[in-house]
Amino acid sequence: MEEKTRVDDIDRSMYDIRNEDRDAYRLGAGLTPELVEQLSREKGDPDWMREFRLKSLEIYNQLPVPDWGPSIEGLDMDKIVTYVRPNTKMQGEWSEVPQDIKSTFDALGIPEAERKYLAGVGAQYDSELVYHNLRKEVAEQGVVYLDFESSLRSEYADMVREHFMTLVPPTDHKFAALHGAVWSGGSFVYVPKNVEVEIPLQSYFRLNAKGAGQFEHTLIIVDEGAKLHFIEGCSAPRYNVANLHAGCVELFVRKGASLRYSTIENWSRNMYNLNTKRATVAEGGTMEWVSGSFGSHVSYLYPMTILRGEKSRMEFTGITFAGHDQNLDTGAKVVHSAPNTSSYINTKSISKGGGVSTFRSAVVVGANAKGSRSAVSCQSLMLDDISRSDTIPAIDVRTPDADVGHEAQIGRISDESVFYLMSRGISEEEARAMIVSGFADNVSKELPMEYAIEMNNLIRMEMKGSIG
């Protein structure tokens, strides 16, 4: 009985709230130079940005669709609307956000989370931020947290221009080029030297419009000796047509700085999630990624870290849960480009109900990365015989003075474990859900408690009806 109550508590309908399309403006579907120019005009871009968009579109048209990952044949770019402006300006108070949009974020628990344990929140609805706020005491520390469009017109405009799409250039791959052409929304964060932001900042991305794309850009600079935890959440209602998310995250971790970037991704099952995240870490800096991938129809997601400074380090902790009608291709990349750097990648993946989960990684240790160490551990759980789980880890070591280890396992839930729990009065379904939650423990223990609970609830929801 208790199990049933818990499952009911996280009814999926909270993610499936669907508001009427009452947008103020939407671009026509497809991708042409004229549409990109129109978007640029609508957003009031500076000239350099307009030129950047057009150049990116040219690159997009030249680059091939990747043929090494899940099929994206169902994604027809001629039908995707790349810009939908909600019927409100960005607000600094929740009370000023239109009721239907506010209700959505209320259901997702964002305002409550902000009150309880966040230093600041940015809430994006379709292509623009509708709410953005930073706690006064955090702002007084000199922390800058702006919506991306405002950052381009702020005193930090030069800093933004200097960093924008330098870590992920439009030439990187087709969807990075697409992002360069039609990006909209997102956040800019700057944490000054030696400032430690004690509680996390969060951006939440909600895509409501049917057949639309979301292309937010997140740029974070954590200056020398500073510290930040940034949380990203995303969801969308389910439609019977494809939606697209091709966001871009660029993270600059300066000397001795520390950044943790946590994501719980729960896009709807009609979403193509082709997101690019990349960090560069200077001397003595630390980059930590915590990533939970639960939603979307198809995902390509491999946060990359470039360890550019001596003794810099990265840690990636991730979990992917691929259920029915999902093909989630996730993992991580790290490039060791300086001596005595270290990396640790620890992932879990679960496949169920015909879902396909692929762990893909790359560890590259350059010739100058002497004394570096890297360890990769990936574990996969198959919950039935109609699903699929692949691991594709690549290692490239160019110096003898390095230690690189890799281990991977694929298996199933042991009958003995289920029997043990059932012999203590737990139902089989609950026993299997408990085992899967335990399997995901590496991620949940790295998240703030409220997010860990949400993640465990997502797992329980996915496990509902897993028997028989």
Partner 1 sequence: MTEKTLIVNALAAKTWYWLKMNDTSVRVQRPEPLAVAAEGEVSPAAEPLACVTGMGEELTGLLAESPATRMRVDAKAGGAQTVRLHLAPNSGATEAAVVDVHAAEGADLTLVMDCDRPAGAKGATVIAQTRLQLGKGAKVRLIQLWLNRGQDVVLNDIGAVCGEKADFALSQIYLGAEKVYAGAEIALEGAKSQTEVRQTYQAEKNQRFDFNDNVRHIGRKTVCRIDVSGVLNDGASKLFRGTIDLQKGAVGADGAEYENVLMLGEAASNQTIPLILCSEEDVKGNHGATIGRLDEGLLFYLTSRGLSEEQVCEMIASARLNAACEALGDPRAACQVMAYANIDAPCGEDRDDA
Element (H, E) at 461: helix 449-463
Contact 39, 149 (CB under 8 A): no
| R_g (Cα) of the chain, nearest Å | 22
Question: Cβ 273 to partner 1, closest distance in Å?
Answer: 18
Residue closer to partner 1, measured from CB, 138 or 402? 402
Binding residue for partner 1 (CB under 8 A) from 14, 394, 449, 467? 394
Of 47-55, 80-88, 392-400, 432-440: span binding partner 1 (CB under 8 A): 392-400
Check binding of 273 to partner 1 (CB under 8 A): no
Of positions 47, 385, 425, 468, contacts partner 1 by CB under 8 A: 385
Choosing from 12, 153, 412, 445, the residue that interacts with partner 1 (CB under 8 A) is: 412
Q: What H or E segment, with its residue span, contains residue 41?
A: helix 33-43
**What is the DSSP code (8-state) at residue 86?**
-
Residue from the set 49, 253, 338, 383 that interacts with partner 1 by CB under 8 A = 383
Question: What does residue 453 show for φ and ψ, rounded to 5 degrees?
Answer: -65, -45
CA dist list (Å): 328 to 168, 297, 319, 320, 352: 22, 7, 11, 7, 12
- Does position 393 bind partner 1 by CB under 8 A? yes
388 binds partner 1 (CB under 8 A): yes
Counted residue by residue, the chain has a size of 468
- Out of 44, 411, 438, 465, the residue judged to bind partner 1 by CB under 8 A: 411
Closest CA to 334 of 260, 247, 397: 397
Please give the angle made by the CA atoms of 69, 72 and 76, to the nearest 5 degrees: 155
CB of 411 to partner 1, least distance (A): 5
Residue 348 pairs in a beta bridge with: 319, 379
Q: Parallel, antiparallel, or unpaired: how do β-strands 144-147 and 186-191 relate?
A: antiparallel
- Residue 133 pairs in a beta bridge with 121
Interface mask toward partner 1 for 64-103; x: CB under 8 A = ---xx-----------------------------------
| Residue closer to partner 1, measured from CB, 449 or 467 | 467
Cβ at position 63, least distance to partner 1 in Å: 12
For the segment 338-377, give every residue that binds partner 1 (CB under 8 A): 360, 362, 364, 367
CA distances, 46 to each of 186, 187, 207, 352 (Å): 17, 17, 26, 48
Alpha carbons 201 and 114: distance in angstroms, whole number: 9
Q: Give me the least distance between CB of 110 and partner 1, in Å please.
A: 35
Q: Are strands 25-26 and 84-85 parallel, antiparallel or unpaired?
A: antiparallel
Q: Where are the beta strands (DSSP E) in 117-157?
A: 120-125, 128-134, 144-147
Region from 8-16, 50-58, 260-268, 407-415 binding partner 1, contact rule CB under 8 A: 407-415
Number of residues counted as binding partner 1 (CB under 8 A): 37
The amino acid sitting at 19 is N
Shortest reach from residue 467's CB to partner 1, in Å? 14
325 binds partner 1 (CB under 8 A): no
User: What type of residue sits at position 366?
Assistant: G
Interacting residue with partner 1 among 13, 407, 438, 445 (CB under 8 A): 407
Packing angle between helix 110-117 and helix 449-463, nearest 10 degrees?
Answer: 150
* Nearest distance in Å: CB 393, partner 1: 7
* Smallest gap from residue 463 Cβ to partner 1 (A): 15
The residues of the shown chain that bind partner 1, judged by CB under 8 A, are 67-68, 360, 362, 364, 367, 380, 382-385, 387-412
